[in-house]
Structures are given as structure tokens and as C-alpha cells.
Amino acid sequence: MMYRHLAITFVFVACTGMTAAGVEPSREPVAAAASAAADPTASSLAVAQLKKHLKLAATARPSIAGQEFATVALTRDDAAEAERLLWADHVQRIKQTRFDEMKARRITSGNLQMPFYYAVFGNKPKSGRSLYISLHGGGGAPPQVNDRQWENQKRLYQVKEGVYLVPRAPTNTWNLWHQGHIDGMFDRLIENLIVFENVNPNRVYILGYSAGGDGVYQLAPRMADRLAGAAMMAGHPNEASPLGLRNVAFTIQVGANDSGYNRNKVAREWGKKLDALQKEDPNGYVHWTKIYEGKGHWLDRQDAAALPWMARYDRNPLPTRIVWRQDDVTHARFYWLAVKPQEQRKGVEIRAALQGQRFEVQAGGIGQLIVRMNDRMLNLDENVIITSNAKQLFAGRVHRSIGTLAQTLAERGDPASVFSAQVVVTLPK
């Protein structure tokens, strides 16, 4: 089930390299379990020290992770204030450091560049604009062919409200939209648009046609925690799995006669897989499969119906149930779960649920799991219990800290996915 959420009045965006607080991103957890409540005096002092820290020039600041105030247990109100301070500082820095790339409409990663076009439509909602990232077709072809596909994608769809953004693939290979560099480039795009165009991070969508559809099949499950919805048009999934789509609205649009690479056959198979997943889990796997009779690879723009369908759904950034399956391009975090670098492996499947103050996690192929928390999920002033297959892995109080806020902001920059506390649990074999 997809949920609509009230607007959040402050937003976080992660940086590549330096973090929102001017420190290098850390993959190691900062927070630790605490047996006692936060001391209000110490908590208030930690926030005061953070304010002093943020007044330093960004290039001259030491790492927040190394500061004593980063590990002090915070009260609920002080954690909210620290989050606000970190965000305000981050916005200022993003506007300064990302202005040139936004003006140039070009994202750079190593020796690869991804130009992008975008246009803004409609009036801005109070909660922020929607963002549609639209992936062109083409693939393994000369650059001029993919350039024409990029130009065509700019005109292919229209939205009533939001930012319609069309990137040009950094390469001209057959798998141009699902290579490993794409995830980070899209993260950066989303981060930029949140700041520069006031995009609502709970209303980010991806869609793609042909080779762009191939990319949607692959990207949507592995970037699901970024997305409210995804629309796959006339593509092929290759080896992708739909398991990660549990909390994303996903639509498949294919012509009944689109037999190239068995796109029509595979689309029906994926539709049935999603049907089965939703039958087992009725509150998840919202989907719509549309096979257009009489249509081949070109759908005569009838697939545009996917955009208003997606727009009905907002992302739930803190779902009570998560299914995370690592693809060949692995990620360090997924919703309120995270893993250490050595635990990032293809094929690892993690399932987790939250009910009240209790987490239940199940995972195979990894030794430890990081469970993250904030005050929108549960009451951090009460005990938290984490179990796996009826075995208790953790029980007690977990403290909020500036270190964890800064760390999770640096990783992702998502307002609803910034966490103030986290616990590392060792999983039973």
C-alpha cells in the first residue's frame, strides 16, 4: 500500500565527496546503544557546539565524526534542531558548489559525463515539485543515434506538474542505463534538483522507453528507496528481480506484438510475478501491467498513461516492511537498513519489518546488519527490540546523536531518510 505524507519543511541532500556538514562520508555506524535517557544539559551543549562548528569555513572544518559532541545522546527536540542546522548549512554549500554543474546541465563521474535537459511545468505545490527522470532509447549504436533518441525523449511526454528531466546516457553501450555509474549520477541529480528546484523527495519517478525501459527494470528495484514510482516502456529486464519493488508503484507498458528480445512475453511474465508477490503481500507491490493489443515496439504514445498513474503515488520513505535484494550493482543502504562495505554482495536478500517498538529482520549471506531509526518511526525514548527468527539480537535504549544525523545526511541527503540513531546487530547463522 502506498501512503501519502505531509510535507516536510526541511530537506536534506547528500554530496559526493564532502558531506553536508563538511566531512567525508563514513560507512561505519556512529550511534551506539545507550541504557539511560539523554541528559538535557549535555544534549543542549552538543547542539551549541554543532552551531559553533558550522560557523567555521566548510573547507576548514574537521570531521564531525571525530568531534566529542557527535556522540552525545540528544533529546528529541535537540535532535530535531541539529537536523535543521545540518540541513541549512548543507543547502548553502550545495548552492555554492553545485551551481556550475547545474548551469552547465552536466553531471560528471570520473571520466564520464551525463548531460541533461529539464523543463518545469505547473505551479509548485507547497510540499515541493515532482521529478520525472525520463530515459531515452538507443543503446549499442553510434553516438549520433543515441543523440537523436535523447532529443526525441525530450518531446515524448508531458507532465501537468513537476520537473521533466531527460539525461543523455554517459555511454553508447547496449546497457547504457543500468551500468554501475548510473546510480550515483542519478543520486546526484536528485540531490541537486531537491535544492535548486525544490523537488519533493517523496515524489521522484523514473520512466524509460526501449533501452530506457531496460534501465527502469534494473534501476527501480535497486533504487527503490529513492522512488515513488517507475514506468517501464517497451524494454527488457535481463536478469533483474522485482523483489525490491515492494514499496514502489511500478507499471509495465509493452506492445502485444513487440517480440524483439521477447519483450512482450517477458512483460507478461513480470506482470504475473508482481501479481504473485502482491497476493502474498497485499500491502505491497502496487503495479499495473498493460499489454497493448495490435502494437509493436512503438506504442503511439498510448504509454503516456503511465505518468498520471504514477503521479497518484507518493513514496513512503519509512515503510514498515522492506524487501532488499542486492543486484550486481550493490548499495550500502536501503530505506532504514544499511550494511558495511564488506557485506555488500550480489544476491544478498534481506527482509525486515517494524511493528511498534520491535524490529524483525531476516538475512542470509551477511554477518551484520545496521538498523536505523528516527522519531518518525518509533519512540526513541523507550526500549527497542530487534529479533531474527525468534532470537533476540538487541534490547534496550538507543540514543540519538549528531554523528548519526550527519552521517546519514552525507550518504543520501533525503529529508525523510535521515536517521538520528542506529544499531549494528550480528545475525544468527
Q: What is the pTM of this model?
A: 0.91
**Confidence bin at 429 (pLDDT 50/70/90):** confident
**Confidence bin at 415 (pLDDT 50/70/90):** confident
> How high does pLDDT run on average in the chain?
92
* Domain contains 183: yes
Each residue of 347-372: pLDDT tens digit? 999 999 999 999 999 998 899 999 99
* Domain contains 318: no
* Domain contains 364: no
pLDDT greater than 80 at residue 26 = no
Percent of the chain with pLDDT over 70: 92
* Domain contains 275: yes
Question: What's the half-sphere exposure (Cβ side, CA atoms, 13 Å) at 428?
Answer: 12
Each residue of 145-190: pLDDT tens digit? 999 999 999 999 999 999 999 999 999 999 999 999 999 999 999 9
Number of domains in the chain: 1
* Domain contains 95: no
Average pLDDT over residues 284-305: 98
pLDDT greater than 70 at residue 1 = no
List phi, psi (to 5°) of 412: -130, -40
* Domain contains 8: no
Q: What is the CATH number of the domain that holds 225?
A: 3.40.50.1820
Average pLDDT over residues 244-253: 98
**Confidence bin at 10 (pLDDT 50/70/90):** very low
pLDDT at 414: 84
User: Which of 295, 235, 291, 242 minimizes the C-alpha distance to 262?
Assistant: 235
pLDDT at 364: 86
The residues, ordered by sequence, that sit 6+ positions from 86 with a Cβ below 8 Å of its Cβ are 12, 20, 21, 50, 54, 402, 405, 406, 409
Burial (CB count within 10 angstroms: exposed 0-12, middle 13-18, buried 19+), residue 100: exposed
**Confidence bin at 413 (pLDDT 50/70/90):** confident
Average pLDDT over residues 114-139: 97
Range of the domain at 299: 111-310
* Domain contains 208: yes
User: Which of 315, 336, 338 minimizes the C-alpha distance to 326?
Assistant: 338
**Confidence bin at 35 (pLDDT 50/70/90):** low
